[in-house]
Structure formats: C-alpha cells, structure tokens
Amino acid sequence: MIPPLPGPAHAALPSTATRQTPGPAPGTSSDPPAGDDCCRLGALRKGQRAVVAGLDDSAVATPLPPGELERRMIEMGLIEGARVEILHEGFPGADPLAVRINDHTLALRRAEAHAVLVTLG
C-alpha cells in the first residue's frame, strides 16, 4: 500500500539563507497571504491529504535559532515527498494537529505547520 517514494526535485528547496527576521508573534499574526494558504500544511483540515513540497520557516515566529525549526521538522519526517494526512485536530481552535507522515504520526501546532509547503493530492 505504501510504495517507497523518491521525492520530487530536491534542488528547488528554500535554503535557510532565505530566512528572514521572525514574523509577528503567533497570536497576533494575520493569516499568511491568501494565495499561499492552500498549499501550507497549517491550512489543511481534518481528513485532507497532501505531499510535502518544501519547508519555509521564514514566516513562523519561534524562539529557535534560524534554520532550527526546519531541521527539527526534517528529523521528525517532514521532508519533501513525504505523504501527509491530517488525522485529528485538537480543541479548541482545531489546534494542534495530529498528522500522519508516511508510517508515523506527529503532533504539531498550526502555527508551525505553516512552515510546511504541500501540494494537495
């Protein structure tokens, strides 16, 4: 049921160098630009499936040093080509998310899930 998958082109990754100063605090941030919204993991709802297309933590406010969130996400399996599915949503505010990533399940908050670019499928 789960074929081994070579990911899409790894060359087009956003490098950590493109990371800018942290955006507004999570509580106060307005939603990411509308056109962007459909293809970020943080915008998906329960039951939706997608494939990770890339990581871009430039707009996510974290106390972590630059690039660290990206590395942690990769270590937890959020990497280009990984198939994801939103299994459960927390309460209240449908946050955090329980996301199936290939063979395991990861809990993460919507704010940080916005760093994951996905293509629906």
Partner 1 sequence: MSDTVLSTPAFMGAPPRIALVGNPNCGKTALFNALTGARQKVANYPGVTVERKIGEFLSPAGTRVQLVDLPGTYSLRARSPDEEVTRDVVLGRFQHEAPPDVMVCVADATNLRLHLRLVLELKKLGRPIILALNMMDVAEARGCRVDAAALSAALGVPVVPTVAIKRTGVVGLLDQIDRSMIAMTAALPPSPGNAPDITPGTSSCGWSEPSALDLRAYHQEVEAILAAALRDAGRPSLATRRIDAALLHPAIGLPFLFLVLFLMFQAVFAWAAVPMDMIDKGLGWVQAGAGAALPDGLLKSLLTDGIIAGVGSVVIFLPQILVLFFFILMLESTGYMARAAFLLDRLMGGVGLHGRAFIPLLSSFACAVPGIMAARTIENRADRLATIMIAPLMTCSARLPVYTLIIAAFVPDRTVAGGMIGLQGLVMFTLYAAGILSALAAAFVLKRTIFKGAREPLLMELPSYRLPSPRDILLGLLERARIFLARAGTVIFAIMILLWFLGSFPAAPDGATGPAIDHSFAGMLGHALAPLLAPIGFTWQIAIALVPGMAAREVAVAALGTVYALSETGDALSGSLAGVLAADWSLPTALSLLAWFVFAPQCVSTLSVVKRETNSWFWMLVMIVYMTALAYGAAFVTFHLSSVLLGG
Which residues, other chains included, contact 78 with Cβ-Cβ below 8 Å and sequence gap of 6+? Answer: 41, 52, 55, 84, 101, 106, 116
DSSP string, 24-76: S-TTTPPPPPHHHHTTBGGG--TT-EEEEEEE--TT---SSPTTHHHHHHHHT
Site for partner 1 in 78-117 (CB under 8 A): 79-80, 87-96, 98, 100, 102-109, 112
Query: Is residue 64 a contact point for partner 1 (CB under 8 A)?
Result: yes
Please identify which residue in 41, 69, 116, 118 interacts with partner 1, judged by CB under 8 A: 69
Question: With contact defined as beta carbons under 8 Å apart, do 85 and 51 qualify?
Answer: no
Please identify which residue in 20, 21, 25, 28 interacts with partner 1, judged by CB under 8 A: 25
Query: Is residue 65 a contact point for partner 1 (CB under 8 A)?
Result: no
Kindly tell me which of 30 and 34 has the beta carbon lying closer to partner 1. 30
Please identify which residue in 32, 48, 51, 67 interacts with partner 1, judged by CB under 8 A: 67
Which residues, other chains included, contact 37 with Cβ-Cβ below 8 Å and sequence gap of 6+? Answer: 31, 43
Minimum CB separation of residue 35 from partner 1 in Å reads 25
Minimum CB separation of residue 34 from partner 1 in Å reads 24
Distance, CA of 108 to CA of 99 (rounded, Å): 8
Query: Is residue 26 a contact point for partner 1 (CB under 8 A)?
Result: yes
Query: Is residue 13 a contact point for partner 1 (CB under 8 A)?
Result: yes
